[in-house]
Structure 1
Amino acid sequence: MVHRTISPFLSAGPSRRALLAGLAGLAVGGATPALSQGVRGGRQSAEWSDHFDAGSRGRSTRNPYPVLGPHTVQGLEQAIAQYQTIVSRGGWQPVPGSERLRTGIRRPAVVALRARLIASGDLDASTGRSDIFDSFVDTAVKRFQQRHGISPDGLVRASTYAALNVPADMRLRQLETNLVRVRAFSGFLGGRFIVMNIPAAQLEAVENGTVVSRHVTVVGKIDRQSPVISTRVQDINFNPFWTVPASIIRKDLIPKMQTEPDYLAKNRIRVFNSQGQEVPPESINWNSMDALNYRFRQDPFEGNSMGNVRINIPNQHAVYMHDTPSKGLFGEDQRFHSSGCARVQNVRELIAWILQGTQWSRAEIDRVFRTNDRVDAKPLQPVPVYWVYVTAWANPDGLVQFRDDIYQRDGIGPQAVLQPAALR
């Protein structure tokens, strides 16, 4: 096998914290209610104005290779050979200190930074080992950050230090672990399919082996993990009702109602008994677990926790993909805030692709998004969906990417994970 040189270039469900932030947060986690204040029926909603949706950071398809497929297997095999060479030469030394490094400064730590970036191929060795943080170092840092799922701002702070200082042998083991995972999906996955990589919190729409679009997602918290599943898109629900899961009733809704008795009314959540009859919230003893005997359903409106659309993917975990009225979390590097479901950035583009060939044009989708109309749609053919857990992948062009082992499934050790506290 011919091994190519590693290239650092890149192509371009609800939480407790969310409930305390308001209805939009109840489903999306952490975003403030102000992000969902748009009104439909002609007036602008957050869906249309929030740059975190239309801006689609991370959606670029300049890199056409999906995270699953034969090309990824080939890329990982090449990357493993390269990292074996790096490890055999002693790996790389950590970058010391905690001072924020940026363009224009002169520090001894910049010498170590240059050496580290040269070792992984992010910086050309010909740029030298100066202690000045110049434009070459700035560009290399941004490339490194992109490869590790960090916002490419060129600033070396806690999150970038943490990624830089993961040892080379640990990165090698990460590549080897994920080669096994990716090989399991190296067969035919479908002519058109969706893959969501949980550690990357990113979704790809793939057609004929090429990525058509990429979408940033928000996925499960560490204590409410998104599952690995293989399923298919069953149907699309526009302006859906949202039924509050029992886990959220227990952990979030009951405590919320104890402090804010009018919360359900303000957020258009209705209560139904076991006979399907609507009952007033006041009939429930909120100082007990009595609420678990009832069904809580949120009506379609501009602040509905599902946003404008839900993508149904049958599975035993009862998770699905959906829109959100609050887009702020799409701008974070660590997007692990849900109760297991996946919120999808620029979801209109994704559902337009899913519904290709039907009467659902992008214009018609946009029109329904401006209403409260409850409408369902089905794709011409079921679209396969794969939720996978891949923390390291590569393509044949030499692009190698790493993400945090957020759920501790790699079996490598805690150093492989950039803890959220270190990212502030």
Structure 2
Amino acid sequence: MTNHNKTKLSRLALIACFLLTLGFGMQSCKKSRSEMGKDLYSKTKNKVYKDVTPEGFEPVFKAMLESEGAKLPNAKIILAHYAANGYDPTLLLDHLSGDDIKALPQYLNKSNEHGLDPTLFRAAKIDTLINNIYGKKSIKTLEEAYHDMAELEMTMAASLISYSNALQFGVFNPRKIYQRYYTATARPDSAYMNNALNTKDFKSYLDSIQPKDKHYVALQKALMEGFVATGQTKEETQRTLVTNLERLRWKNKPTQDRYVIVNIADFRLDVMNQGKSELNMKVCVGEGRNKDAENSLVEYDESDKVDRPFSRETPQLASEINMVQVNPIWNIPVSIASKEIVVEAQKDPYYLANKNINVYKDGKLIDDPETIEWNANSGTEYSFKQQPGSDNSLGKIKFLFPNKSSVYLHDTPAQAPFGREMRAVSHGCVRLEKPLEFARVLFGDGTEKFQKIEQFMGEDKSQPTDLALPKKVPVYLTYVTGWVDDAGQIQIRPDVYGLDIVLYGHLQKLIRG
């Protein structure tokens, strides 16, 4: 062969290798696995491994993946990974060091520190298989060696991905377990999961994925130290901590420097700025299914994992406050009109006039609603609008943000509930304790628009006035029953909507299969 041809062939080989490393082939240009048996023997001192070859291992592993792989979590990712790597036991061979490979089951066995059960990640099985492979007398035949290598590789792959996903993204997608959850929540993609499979050092990787948020670390510590909240048993508190650790793992937390957050379970609103609250206040939220704490986290029942929201519960969502309406008109929802307004109008012919409520049919104002013969269908036949005024259920101002649930933040003439601990009393919207202060923070003290708000709110009656915010402000309606406050104290709140029960039910169902 001429030098020219040799050079040409060399260039072609390099190009082929380059293409393969980019994923254009089934095998990458990695270090040859021809020393597979030699490497295994050097680490295990079991002579059986001297006869192990890639050619002998591949059909065993491939057959195992074909028969059992589809049952694995994230099966498509795992099957594609090994097909692209020629069915090499990449995790086993890249982590042959006894300390390195044993780090995986050690971390999996400590998953209870995150409120997760080690059985979810097959920690005991991996530990046993590793001990078999490194035990000089555990594996006596080449057939046993291939089988245990394949089973260990497959199990490690599934468990590594599951554990990594759980710690970085949570075990569940909240949008799939809650009916009224409208906050975008990131989930692990194929690139993230392949990154886990391609790690070269288990311990470094597993350390890197441990949540480091101070709130998470504090709840972890409380869980491991057996913290017991006032009014709860130890078991209830532990389960409350477990559910809130899962919430903290969800990738849906505010990333903006400034935002508004309402914790439904705490009946509180905060305007956050650079990680600190620049304004906080009490709020009233929608009435909940478990407001009297009739149901707790003491026992698990199969039906607990089914979310059955009460019709008035405030949804969890993320949006942006873009506008306020001063002296708002309340377009009364059909459900409230049917169950409350019509009932009151039947009892008192002056109820609508006293409450400043106009009645419409087919979009036309009814001049004399006292002549209406109310019946069970009146709530749908007519529409009702409460005009601006001191009795308006929305008070003097409401804060609007796009959402499919038609909820908003608003003032209220009903001030008594702000003096109560349990403030799940509204029809679904969020009532504000200090609406004018809230407007001041959003618009800026002394600005022209805020001065208009002060003026219009001071008038007894006025036409509705819409004012756009100078800059949209992110708003999050969330539900958290356990957290650490600024003083480092663990705070626990009642599960007024039963959402802890639903989440814990799913976690228990996962463990019990």
Is the structural similarity TM-score above 0.5?
yes
Verify: 1:284 aligned to 2:356, yes or no: no
Percent sequence identity over aligned pairs: 28
Superposition deviation, residue 169 in structure 1 = 2.9
Distance in structure 1 (CA, Å) of the matches to 2:475 and 2:347: 40
Equivalent of 2:236 in 166, 170, 174: 170
Distance in structure 2 (CA, Å) of the matches to 1:177 and 1:413: 6
1:310–1:322 contact (8 Å) kept in structure 2: yes
Superposition deviation, residue 171 in structure 1 = 1.1
SS at match of 1:199: helix
Verify: 1:309 aligned to 2:375, yes or no: no
1:72–1:182 contact (8 Å) kept in structure 2: no
Verify: 1:340 aligned to 2:406, yes or no: no
**Structure 1 residues 243-262: aligned runs within 5 Å:** 243-262=331-350
Distance in structure 1 (CA, Å) of the matches to 2:221 and 2:392: 49
Alpha carbons of structure 1 residues 336 and 187: separation in structure 2 relative to 1, 3 Å: closer
Verify: 1:200 aligned to 2:266, yes or no: yes
Counterpart for residue 250 of structure 2: 184
Superposition deviation, residue 176 in structure 1 = 2.1
1:218–1:342 contact (8 Å) kept in structure 2: yes
Distance in structure 1 (CA, Å) of the matches to 2:483 and 2:284: 20
SS at match of 2:390: coil
Larger Rg: 2
Counterpart for residue 81 of structure 1: 221
Cα deviations by residue, 1:26-67 (Å, 9 ceiling, x for unpaired): xxxxxxxxxxxxxxxxxxxxxxxxxxxxxxxxxxxxxxxxxx
Aligned residues: CA RMSD: 2.6
1:205–1:211 contact (8 Å) kept in structure 2: yes
Counterpart for residue 23 of structure 1: none
Cα deviations by residue, 1:153-177 (Å, 9 ceiling, x for unpaired): xxxxxxxxxx634112321221221
SS at match of 2:470: coil
User: What residue ranges of structure 1 are gaps of 5+ in the alignment?
Assistant: 1-70, 88-119, 121-162, 415-424
Distance in structure 2 (CA, Å) of the matches to 1:270 and 1:244: 10
Q: How many residues align?
A: 271
Alpha carbons of structure 1 residues 295 and 355: separation in structure 2 relative to 1, 3 Å: same
Cα deviations by residue, 1:358-412 (Å, 9 ceiling, x for unpaired): 9346554332211133222111221111100111111475221111001111128
Distance in structure 2 (CA, Å) of the matches to 1:390 and 1:319: 19
Distance in structure 1 (CA, Å) of the matches to 2:270 and 2:251: 15
Verify: 1:242 aligned to 2:382, yes or no: no
SS at match of 2:499: coil
Query: Which structure dedicates a bigger proportion of its chain to helix?
Result: 2
User: What residue ranges of structure 2 are gaps of 5+ in the alignment?
Assistant: 1-210, 289-309, 505-513
Distance in structure 2 (CA, Å) of the matches to 1:219 and 1:72: 31
Counterpart for residue 358 of structure 2: 270
SS at match of 2:469: coil
Distance in structure 2 (CA, Å) of the matches to 1:299 and 1:280: 16
Alpha carbons of structure 1 residues 261 and 185: separation in structure 2 relative to 1, 3 Å: farther
Alpha carbons of structure 1 residues 362 and 292: separation in structure 2 relative to 1, 3 Å: same
Distance in structure 1 (CA, Å) of the matches to 2:398 and 2:233: 41
Alpha carbons of structure 1 residues 336 and 72: separation in structure 2 relative to 1, 3 Å: farther
TM-score w.r.t. length of structure 1: 0.59
Cα deviations by residue, 1:328-360 (Å, 9 ceiling, x for unpaired): 110100001111001001111111111138934
1:75–1:397 contact (8 Å) kept in structure 2: no
Alpha carbons of structure 1 residues 244 and 360: separation in structure 2 relative to 1, 3 Å: same
TM-score w.r.t. length of structure 2: 0.49
Distance in structure 2 (CA, Å) of the matches to 1:367 and 1:72: 47
1:79–1:394 contact (8 Å) kept in structure 2: yes
Equivalent of 1:378 in 468, 472, 486: 468
Counterpart for residue 478 of structure 2: 388
Superposition deviation, residue 276 in structure 1 = 3.0
User: What one-letter code is carried by the residue in structure 2 that aligns with 1:391?
Assistant: T
